Structure 1
Amino acid sequence: MHTLILSISFSVVVSIFLKLARAGKIQVDQAIAVNYATAAALSVWLLRPPLDTLFEQPPAVWLILGLLGVLLPTVFLVMAAAVRRAGIVRSDTAQRLSLILPILAAFLVFHEVLSGRKAFGIALALCALACLLARPRANGARLPARAMAHQEEPQESAARGWAVLLGVWAGYGCIDILFKQMARIGAGFTGSLLLSFVLAGLLMCLWLLFRRTRWDARSLASGILLGGLNFGNIYFYIRAHQTFPDNPTLVFAAMNIGVISIGTLVGAGVFRERLSPLNMLGIGLALGAIVLLFPR
C-alpha cells in the first residue's frame, strides 16, 4: 500500500509545482522537456536497467513505448490548449473523469472479476469524484454589465473547446492503461520506463525547437525538480500496479480519487481555496470507496 501512497504524494506535489509555476513565471513547456531528461537520468542511476539489452524489447513492448512516448508530451500540450480554450476547471474535470476509461479496461482488458463489493466501491468512487469536482458558482447578479460582457467570450471558447477536452479525457485515460500494461512486463519494466522517458523528452524538445522557443534558465532549472517528482510519481504508480496485479481498479481509483482529495485539502489549507460541504462529503466518500476496493 505504501507504493500507492507514495505515488499519490508525488502526484500532489507535482500539481502544487505546476500551480506555483504560473505565479513564478516559469515556462512550463521548457520545464517539462528537462523533466523527461531528469527522469531518464534517475532511471539509469537508481533503477540500473540493463543497458546492453535496452533495445532488445518485444514488438508488443515497443508498441507500448511508442504510444507512451507520443502521449506523454502530447497530452501535456492538449491540456495546455484545453486550459486556454475551456478553462482550468473544465480541463481538470476532463482529466479526472478519465478514470472511467481505466476502470472499464480493468474488466474488459485485464479481466478483473467484478464483484458486488467492487461495483459498489466504483459507484462510490464516481460519486466522490462528482462531489470533489463541484465548485461553487460565482454570483453573476453582482457583476456589472461590462464584466458580464467580458465573461461571454471565455464561455463561448469553452463551448468550442469540446474537442480538446475530449483529447484530455482520452489521453490521460490511455496513459493510465499503458502504465498498467508496462507494470505487467515485470522486472524488465525498468528499461521500458527509461526508453519512454527518453522518447517523450526527444519529442518535447523537437516541439520546442520547431516553435523556436527562447530558452529561459530559470524554467530549465525548475525542470530538474519537476523531473524528480514526476519520476517518483510514475515509478511508484507502476510499482503499485505490481503490488496489486489482480486489482487494477483499486490502483486506478485510489490514484485519481486520492490525488484530487488531498489536492482539495491542500488547496483549502495552503492556497485558501473555498471548500464546500459537498467537497467534504466527496472526501468521505472517497475514503469509503478505497476501503471497499481494497482486497480483503
Structure 2
Amino acid sequence: MLYILLSVCCSISVAILLKIARRYEINIQQSINWNYLAALSLCYLTFSPDFKILNNSVPWKFYFPLSILLPVIFLFLAESVKNIGIVKTEIAQRLSLFIPILASYFIFGENISLFKFFGLTIGFMAIFLTLNRKSESTNENNSWIYPLFVLFGFGIIDVLFKQIALYSEIPFTTSLFIIFCGAFCIASLITLYYLIFNKRNLTWQSFLFGIVLGIFNFGNILFYLKAHKALANNPSTVFAAMNFGVISIGTLIGVTVFNEKITRINYLGIACAVMAVIIITISQLYAY
C-alpha cells in the first residue's frame, strides 16, 4: 500500500503545483515542456529502455497520438485547476475511467454487465453534479469545458496506453520512454510557437518549476506501476485505492488549503463519483 500512497501523493502534488504556479508568475506552458524533459530523463535512468528491440513493428499509430495528447491535455489540466480548482479537476480526471470501459464495449466488443452499467450511470450523474456551478460571469460559466477536456482526454490516453500494454513485442517501459520523447518534442514545438509569434521569453523559474513538476509526474507513474507489480493478483485494489485516495485527499486539500468553494450539489457529485468508482471496481473484480 506504500506505493499506492506515494502515487496518490505525487498525483495530488502535480495538481497543487499547477494551482500555485500562477501566484509566482510561472509560465505553465513552458513548465509542462520541461516537465517531459525531466520525465524522460528519469524514465531512462530508472527503466534503462532497450532500443535494440525496436523494429518495423513499432506501434507508431499509438505513439504519435499519445505524444500529442499528453502535453495538450496537460495544458487543459492546468487550465482546469486554475478555473475550477483541484477538487473538481481531480474528480474529472478520475471519472475518465468511463471512456476505456465504453471503448471496451463499442470498439472491442466486450460485454458490459448490468452492475457496471449502473456504475456508469451514477458516474455520469457525478460528472453533472460535480461540475455544476452557478455564476454570473461568462468566463466562469464556460469553465466546465476544461474538466470535460480533461475527462475525455485522459480517457482516450488510458485507452491508448492499454493498447500499448497489450503490445508484447516491445516492453511497456521502452514504449513509455519513446512517448515521453515525443511529448517533449510536441511541447517544445508549442513553446517555439509562443517564442516566435507571441514574443515570449524562456524563464529559469519555469524551467525549474517544470523539472519539479516532471519529478512528481514521473513519480506518479513509477509508483503506480510498482503498486501493480507488488499487488499483481489484486489489480482492482490498486485501482480502487488510487482513485479513492486522489478524490478524498484532493477534496480535503482543495477545501481546507485553497478554500475552494464546494456547493451541496457538488458534494453530492463527489459522493456519486466515489460510489461509481466502487461499483465499477467491484464489477471489474468479478469479471476476472
* TM-score, normalised relative to structure 2: 0.75
- The structural deviation recorded for 1:63 is 1.4
- The structural deviation recorded for 1:75 is 3.0
Structure-2 residue corresponding to 1:189: 172
Matching residue within 61, 64, 68 for 2:62? 64
Matches within 5 A, 1:267-286: 267-286=254-273
User: What code does the residue aligned with 1:193 have?
Assistant: L
Structure-2 residue corresponding to 1:217: 204
Percent of aligned pairs with the same residue? 37
- The structural deviation recorded for 1:210 is 2.9
User: What code does the residue aligned with 2:157 have?
Assistant: I
Instruction: Give me the whole-angstrom Cα distance separating, in 2, the residues matched to 1:123 and 1:240.
Output: 29
Unaligned runs of 5+ in 1: 141-150
Structure-1 residue corresponding to 2:104: 106
State the number of aligned residues: 273
Instruction: Give me the whole-angstrom Cα distance separating, in 2, the residues matched to 1:40 and 1:134.
Output: 37
Distance 1:171 1:291, change over 3 A: closer
Instruction: Give me the whole-angstrom Cα distance separating, in 2, the residues matched to 1:88 and 1:38.
Output: 27
Instruction: Give me the whole-angstrom Cα distance separating, in 1, the residues matched to 2:220 and 2:12.
Output: 9
Unaligned runs of 5+ in 2: none
User: What code does the residue aligned with 2:57 have?
Assistant: P
Structure-1 residue corresponding to 2:161: 179
Alignment deviations for residues 250-277 of structure 1 (CA, whole Å, 9 cap, x no partner): 95x9867764453222211211223333
User: What code does the residue aligned with 1:277 have?
Assistant: R
Instruction: Give me the whole-angstrom Cα distance separating, in 2, the residues matched to 1:126 and 1:236.
Output: 29
How well do the aligned residues superpose, as a CA RMSD in angstroms? Answer: 3.9
Greater Cα offset, 22-31 or 107-116: 107-116
- SS in structure 2 at match of 1:117: helix
Distance 1:14 1:273, change over 3 A: same
- The structural deviation recorded for 1:195 is 0.5
Distance 1:247 1:279, change over 3 A: same
Distance 1:23 1:57, change over 3 A: farther
Instruction: Give me the whole-angstrom Cα distance separating, in 2, the residues matched to 1:57 and 1:263.
Output: 43
Instruction: Give me the whole-angstrom Cα distance separating, in 1, the residues matched to 2:79 and 2:14.
Output: 19
Bigger radius of gyration: 1
Distance 1:72 1:108, change over 3 A: same
Matches within 5 A, 1:142-291: 151=137, 154=139, 158=142, 170-185=152-167, 188-212=171-195, 213-236=200-223, 251=239, 259-291=246-278
- SS in structure 1 at match of 2:177: helix
Instruction: Give me the whole-angstrom Cα distance separating, in 2, the residues matched to 1:283 and 1:81.
Output: 20
Distance 1:78 1:121, change over 3 A: closer
Distance 1:254 1:99, change over 3 A: farther
Instruction: Give me the whole-angstrom Cα distance separating, in 1, the residues matched to 2:159 and 2:226.
Output: 14
User: What code does the residue aligned with 1:197 have?
Assistant: F
- The structural deviation recorded for 1:166 is 7.4
- The structural deviation recorded for 1:227 is 0.6
- The structural deviation recorded for 1:76 is 3.7
Structure-2 residue corresponding to 1:73: 71
Structure-1 residue corresponding to 2:16: 16
Alignment deviations for residues 25-59 of structure 1 (CA, whole Å, 9 cap, x no partner): 11111111111111111111111221333x33624
Contact residue 34 and residue 223 of structure 1 kept, 8 A: yes
